[in-house]
Amino acid sequence: MTKEDGWRYYSHQSHSLPGSIPLDCKDLYEDGKACSGVYTIYPYGTITSPVRVYCDMTTMGGGWTAIQKRVTGTLSFDRYWTEYKNGFGSPEQDVWVGNDLIHLLTKGSSSALYVSITLQNGTTLYAMYDGFSVSNEAGKYQLSLAGPVTGTLDRDNDRYSGLHCAASWGGGWWFNACHKAFLNGQWSPGYWGPPWNYAVTSGTSVNGTTMMIRRH
């Protein structure tokens, strides 16, 4: 795999119809699946392209598809562009489902984003956004979140002219200059900060993170 610019950084069919295949976790929820866990979905619309994902069937009404999950801290999120494009990890534990899949799941329909951070003391903080989408690779997987658009992931697409944000912070993300939120930072003993200003200013207090999407 060739490193970009010499840096070592990383950065449908109808839903819920009788006999139709589930394109996402909301389809599964509407089909009666009420237990959270790992399920198979078919976001490409064909039975020959299955994808295993974690579905949250209880939070805020259920039907959420996890696009990022960190529960052990053992999997490095400091990875190349192609790995973020295709996805890595395991839906049972730590995972990034892949930018191509996130784009596929959010294009053509309005989706909500749910973000949670569990702290070492057991407290869980969360935020939910009514609008979330990610462009395709040609668009550099730009994030749209309630209007604002920022740079993305391991190539130097951020707006900070004096620093390569992804290279400096050690993980793929939608960087701007550089960040106020960053859920893919280096787990301890690496420096990770801030995961979510101003509620969580240091990664040393984090015991888990989740990002989930659900179409409206």
Angstrom distance (rounded) from CA 6 to CA 50: 35
Q: What are phi and psi of 42, to 5 degrees?
A: -135, 70
Instruction: Please indicate whether residue 35 or residue 186 has the higher confidence score (pLDDT).
Output: 35
Of 212, 214, 208, residue with least CA distance to 94: 208
- What pLDDT does 181 receive? 76
Average pLDDT over all residues of the chain: 80
* pTM score of the predicted model: 0.80
Length of the chain: 216
Mean of pLDDT values over 176-188: 70
- What pLDDT does 205 receive? 86
Q: Domains of the chain (ranges plus CATH)?
A: 8-215 (3.90.215.10)
Which pair of structure tokens corresponds to residue 21? 């295949």
Provide, rounded to the nearest whole percent, the portion of the chain with pLDDT above 70. Answer: 74
**Do 56 and 64 contact (CB within 8 A), yes or no?**
yes
Q: What residues form DSSP beta bridges with 119?
A: 206
